[in-house]
A and B are shown apart, each in its own frame.
Chain A
């Protein structure tokens, strides 16, 4: 057990270190941040001034070790533009993203499980085909396009603006973006739930439960669904990645002031410290999410616990 946790943590640290290094390199070789910071036709002196201020005049290796050293001391750098700590900027944006992502996850899970179950129980009937058709559509639809269609339909046909509502936003403002963000996951959850449920329904213990006089509904809800949902945990863990990627696009389309939008803006304005920190934070989220999935398996599946 200790060995297990140790190796997991070690792997997480290495993953993060590699990520940080790659981002550090890429961001410096994809264009001079100082030039991006200065106006496009700024004179050379201004660019040089920025370069000095950012430490970009230092040799690459010095910049890198300095960066790692600061990271180790919990200093995640400061935004080039506002001078505020990157961590603080990130934390300011995080609640919005968590709210959107959390609601998207709940919507996609509830709807995905529900649709998948309905399809499985009506296997081969029109309902099943409709659900599977929807799932293909949901999975294949780029959320950028879907978001735009939703927003334009709302405004041009119903005179309702479905984008981000700003500080005064109501809770309803989250539905459209969350639906957009969760759509792809919803499709894959539905599909997966269907096949997993079909497989589970035909397991011997389901037959045995029937033979014990347990009513249909109860067999389905208490026995089939929990078993069918176990492999879904892995899928949820995996889809967290697509949720994060999707939030970048969705937040952009719906003017949702979250981490995804911050990332787009920071990349566009070459706010290197912020980009570096964001990628680090996203990588850490993924690593932690995977760890949680592993641990969650221990909790929900007694067979794995025994190993």
Chain B
């Protein structure tokens, strides 16, 4: 297969796709032009709803029937594609163009061994049966899975997200396609795994001489891998160009905003005056798993001490499994610790119970990751916010008045009071959750991955809201996150956790600028966009 010619791998010309009537806009995408030269990586950047995934689907011939191609042309290797959803596409998908998705585990059939699923790809494209297994094993080795034999026999649920993504990539490249479409393939992954996968894609791109259409919202990723960048907003291209040009010299406001969101350095000055309001001393927690003979002890938190200064924000960062969520449960007294103390305003509340515990809980509120599950769909906004007050004995009229006030404080219109949660977007719901927590006038707010489920620009808005409210209301905050960008944006102090232990802690500005520990350094370096030193 010759790929040395200058024929573009992918050409998209004037692509306009209509939305069904009744949608919030008329067109999913308008006048899209893209060209990807052989061996190049094009990053398509935008938030969800910007239309970038629709473009990818159109290239794959997998547009949903309700989406109609109004005009334009898509060509692979200079040859026009057949109409959408045509059976002829089955010959193109795999050998010509392949696609990987955000959630690798769920893009595999849960009840088939992954090896068989990969072999099937070869079989349906006419590869003789006896060659399939060998080809698959080769590919599993190529994506650098530590134990290809074992991976072959595994079921999807037995793998980590990173492993599954390697499998899916292996599947995509099995038939040596000229174009790989990757739709947010690293968004659900830890920073370190994300870095590994990005590296892998870079390596394979060269090894297999494949072009890549990479869809992302993260300019850090763009900085790491892109040759070309196309920025989309509301179904239109707002900016396009070579990666260095766009990164160094963004023209459009929207591009600038997205770039700012991928910034990675502390922005709060170190404060010398320090009055601790919330402290933990030598906390340890061990879970017991299993029954009878296969009982095992799993240490979740090991000798963790921390101190939250009044009016400040402490970020707890770490990869999944580092023990940060267990720590938050201990701090909230939702989980009894094995040893150590939790102090609130200097008082030991580690063993408190009953009314004293209730009083403590009123002063410490929590905002969780999932704004969809956190709200009862049968409660109106106003009732959801006022509920806590009423439980704590505030008369209903007063509770509603305070709830309404808080609603406006978190940036929602008073009209929102009488609507139900399902009528709001994710960001709006998280605002409701924040209002619900703050209406009780807590002294400490614990935010557990509170912005992780949100789009990057919404994330920025919500983080700004947190900072603004903190300034006005004066509460202290523990912000638990796996995202270094978030920690950098919000915290005064940062605490890095690994395997249940504290690796490093200190003022955010200092830790991010001069990490003392190897692990912290590795973590910071694996964040997208760090290697090329764009963010100086």
Q: Spell out A's residues near B (CB within 8 Å).
A: 2-3, 203-205, 207-216, 218, 222-223, 226-227, 230, 300-303, 306
Query: Contacts A208-B108, A303-B157 given: A213-B93 contact, CB under 8 Å?
Result: yes
CB <8 Å contact, B62 and A210: yes
Closest 4 CB pairs of A and B: A213-B93, A208-B107, A213-B94, A302-B155
Query: Contacts A205-B110, A227-B109, A230-B111 given: A306-B87 contact, CB under 8 Å?
Result: no
Q: Write out the residue numbers on chain B whose beta carbons fall within 8 Å of the beta carbon of A203.
A: 106
Cβ-neighbour of B101 out of A204, A216, A223, A227 (below 8 A): A204
CB <8 Å contact, B111 and A227: yes
Cβ-neighbour of B106 out of A204, A214, A230, A300 (below 8 A): A204
Interface residues of B in 49-89 (CB under 8 A from A): 60, 62, 87, 89
CB <8 Å contact, B120 and A213: no
Which residue of the partner chain B has the closest CB to A218?
B124
- Taking the nearest CB of chain B, how far is it from the CB of A226, in angstroms? 6
- Taking the nearest CB of chain B, how far is it from the CB of A123, in angstroms? 12
Chain B 100-127 per-residue mask, 1 if CB under 8 angstroms from chain A, else 0: 0101001111111000000011001100
Cβ-neighbour of B103 out of A2, A204, A222, A230 (below 8 A): A204
CB <8 Å contact, A212 and B110: no
B171 within 8 A of A: yes
CB <8 Å contact, B158 and A306: yes
Highest count of chain B CB atoms <10 Å: which of A204, A226, A227, A230: A204
Q: Write out the residue numbers on chain B whose beta carbons fall within 8 Å of the beta carbon of A212.
A: 93-94, 98, 120-121, 171-172
CB <8 Å contact, A211 and B62: yes
CB <8 Å contact, B92 and A213: yes
Q: Write out the residue numbers on chain A whose beta carbons fall within 8 Å of the beta carbon of B92.
A: 213
CB <8 Å contact, A205 and B106: yes
Cβ-neighbour of B121 out of A207, A214, A302 (below 8 A): A214
Q: In the docked arrangement, what's the CA distance between A211 and B185, Å?
A: 15
Question: How many B residues touch A, CB cutoff 8 Å?
Answer: 34
CB <8 Å contact, B109 and A211: no
Q: Write out the residue numbers on chain B whose beta carbons fall within 8 Å of the beta carbon of A223.
A: 109, 112
Q: Write out the residue numbers on chain A whose beta carbons fall within 8 Å of the beta carbon of B292.
A: 2-3
Cβ-neighbour of B110 out of A211, A218, A227 (below 8 A): A227
Which residue of the partner chain A has the closest CB to B95?
A213
Can you name 20 extra interface pairs (CB under 8 A) apart from A3-B291, A207-B107? A2-B292, A204-B101, A205-B108, A205-B109, A209-B109, A211-B98, A212-B94, A212-B172, A213-B92, A213-B93, A213-B95, A213-B125, A215-B124, A223-B109, A223-B112, A227-B110, A230-B111, A301-B111, A303-B110, A306-B158
CB <8 Å contact, A214 and B90: yes
CB <8 Å contact, A214 and B157: no
CB <8 Å contact, B99 and A211: yes
15 A–B pairs (Cβ distance < 8 Å), ordered by A: A205-B106, A209-B109, A210-B93, A212-B93, A212-B98, A213-B91, A213-B92, A213-B93, A213-B124, A213-B125, A214-B121, A215-B90, A227-B110, A303-B155, A306-B157
Q: Write out the residue numbers on chain B whose beta carbons fall within 8 Å of the beta carbon of A207.
A: 62, 101, 107
Which residue of the partner chain B has the closest CB to A206?
B109
Which residue of the partner chain B has the closest CB to A227?
B111
Q: In the docked arrangement, what's the CA distance between A179 and B93, Å?
A: 44
Q: In the docked arrangement, what's the CA distance between A215 and B89, Å?
A: 9
Highest count of chain B CB atoms <10 Å: which of A208, A209, A210, A230: A208
- Taking the nearest CB of chain B, how far is it from the CB of A230, in angstroms? 7
Cβ-neighbour of A216 out of B60, B87, B98 (below 8 A): B87
CB <8 Å contact, B109 and A214: no
- Taking the nearest CB of chain A, how far is it from the CB of B4, in angstroms? 25
Q: Write out the residue numbers on chain B whose beta carbons fall within 8 Å of the beta carbon of A210.
A: 62, 93
